[in-house]
Structure 1
Amino acid sequence: MRALVHPYPSGLPSPTLTADLTDDELVAFYAPPVQDQRRGDLSRDGLWVRFNFVSSADGAATVHGRSDGLGTPADQRLFALLRRPADVILVGAGTVRAEGYGGDLVSAEDRAWREARGLVSHPAVALVSGSLDLDPESAFFTAAPVRPLLLTTTGADAGRRAALSEVADVVDCGTDQAEPARIRAVLAERGHRLVHSEGGPALLGAFTAAGLADELCLSLSPLLAGGAGGRIIGGADLASPSGMDLVGLLEEDGALFLRYRVTAP
């Protein structure tokens, strides 16, 4: 994997630009735009909220309802490495139902890497669900490596809330919809700084509409998918398109890995 555009051309430590970047060089390549993510100055509230998606060359975010049909070996490698330094993995309920998130979300190697750097061995896991239409006996809950944080609304069904409170910490983040500003506040209150989100499209749409997404890491797969696969962003049309700055670009075997910083609306 080689770097075509580097996020830190000067001023900050940067990995060597080789044709075969190591795991540590890639983690450094994707580091938030400050040297120390624990200093509390990543963004307006001390958080850095990163979204990670894969798309085909013709814009499909899924094949037969799942994203894994678009991934390349390089994408799978980056997918794991982006989780590695995260304080919390943030994901929407639809993505959990479609993709399956049961069990450990980081490897034993990732755990060792984290522990060696003073991080807890596994990132926290936060699930966004406005309706709480979730099965408390699913592997997401029963095989969870850490007790999940469930971000929901005051309007969610009381019976579902009671059942899910047995297997997760349930926190209200809005009345009818889980609001991105409140989600950020809850995560900040819990001491999280680097927030790594894997979608889905509705969650990215909500954060983008609110102007509260900081970064998009997009894997562009050298595939044409056709069909009716949705795009990486969902929900209502934005009031105006959200601008982004390209701050990093990698390439391997025809796949492009774009790192964008979302500009403030």
Structure 2
Amino acid sequence: MGIVYALWPTDGEPTAVTDADLERLYDYPPELTEPWVQANMVSSADGAAAVDGRSAGLSHPADKRVFALGRDLADVVLVGAGTAQAERYAGIKPRELRTSRRQARGLSPLPPIAVVTNRCSLSPQSPLLTDTMVPPIVLTCAAAPAERRDGLADAGADVVVVGEDSVDLPSAVRALGDRGLYRIDCEGGPRLLGAMVAADLVDQLCLTVSPLLAGAGAERIVSGPAMTGPPRSLRLASVLTADGFLMLRYRRA
């Protein structure tokens, strides 16, 4: 694994980053009383969000370290059903560092995964239900087939209806907050992130830029209908690097 260096903020020359440094940089605001959303994404230098349909081809051990940290510090991981399927999601597992981080902050032993799906397309046989220690939350809408909603509930999911014809994301975020899940780590994919940006729900963007040119054809980190209104302003909060990869952290301005 390449050493991670902080380019900014520093007092001068780039400095090696420890786990404690990462925790300090990426931790959620203290004493939250309402949901706060962090988005975690990776892209190529020319903007592609995936290689051969998966983000793994753009990643690096240092990026995976930051990605895991996002889960370690979160109350809940938010993901779109398509990404969960393409990236072969299962429930989040305990590990020594994750356990110690969560215990130190008074968090639950493991965060649940909340899956956004307009039609309850998640299978009851998905590893999110069969290979997990924490039941997933399924955020869906009234138009989703009742038999699918019931099947997921019978399989152990916490099924939450938020919206009529499609998932209403502000209502979904509020529903997570109602469960005391304020620290929300959104892992995409592009359509979910695009909708979250359009609804002005993203408080922090953690973006890894991979030193690759993927060429035309792949999605950007956001997709879907064009956003109405002006672009959302962000401020640069930190810049890390390892082996040519840049790990950028932006916060709501």
TM-score of the superposition, structure 1-length normalised? Answer: 0.88
CA–CA separation in structure 2 for the residues paired with 1:75 and 1:151: 28
Relative distance call for 1:232 and 1:106 in structure 2 (3 A) is farther
Conserved? CA contact 1:95–1:199, under 8 Å: yes
- Matched with 1:25 is 21
Structure 1 residue 92 displacement after superposition: 0.7
CA–CA separation in structure 2 for the residues paired with 1:203 and 1:168: 20
- Residue identity (%): 44
Conserved? CA contact 2:32–2:182, under 8 Å: no
- Matched with 2:244 is 254
- Matched with 2:151 is 163
Structure 1 residue 105 displacement after superposition: 4.6
Structure 1 residue 108 displacement after superposition: 3.5
Establish whether residue 174 from structure 1 lines up as the match of residue 169 from structure 2: no
Give SS of 1:49's match: strand
* Cα RMSD (Å): 1.9
For residue 251 of structure 1, what is the amino acid of its counterpart? T
CA–CA separation in structure 1 for the residues paired with 2:47 and 2:95: 30
Relative distance call for 1:192 and 1:164 in structure 2 (3 A) is same
Q: Which runs of 5+ in 1 are unaligned?
A: 10-16, 41-45
Aligned positions of 1:119-130 closer than 5 A: 119-130=107-118
Q: 2:222 aligns with which of 199, 223, 233?
A: 233
Structure 1 residue 241 displacement after superposition: 2.7
- Matched with 1:134 is 122
Give SS of 1:181's match: helix
Q: 1:207 aligns with which of 196, 220, 225?
A: 196
- Matched with 1:43 is none
Give SS of 1:165's match: helix
- Matched with 1:187 is 176
Partner deviation per Cα, 1:75-97 (whole Å, 9 max, x = no partner): 11111112111111111101101
For residue 25 of structure 1, what is the amino acid of its counterpart? D
Structure 1 residue 18 displacement after superposition: 6.2
CA–CA separation in structure 1 for the residues paired with 2:65 and 2:92: 16
Relative distance call for 1:39 and 1:67 in structure 2 (3 A) is closer
For residue 174 of structure 1, what is the amino acid of its counterpart? G
After TM superposition, what 4+ stretches of structure 1 lie above 4 angstroms from structure 2? none
Establish whether residue 5 from structure 1 lines up as the match of residue 8 from structure 2: yes
CA–CA separation in structure 2 for the residues paired with 1:74 and 1:139: 26
CA–CA separation in structure 2 for the residues paired with 1:125 and 1:245: 28
Structure 1 residue 39 displacement after superposition: 4.2
Give SS of 2:205's match: strand
- Matched with 2:136 is 148
Establish whether residue 93 from structure 1 lines up as the match of residue 96 from structure 2: no
TM-score of the superposition, structure 2-length normalised? Answer: 0.92
Partner deviation per Cα, 1:182-218 (whole Å, 9 max, x = no partner): 0111011001121101001111111111111111110
- Matched with 1:243 is 233
Partner deviation per Cα, 1:158-201 (whole Å, 9 max, x = no partner): 11111011120101111111112101110110011211010011
- Matched with 1:13 is none
Q: Count matched residues.
A: 248
Conserved? CA contact 2:195–2:224, under 8 Å: yes
- Matched with 2:208 is 219
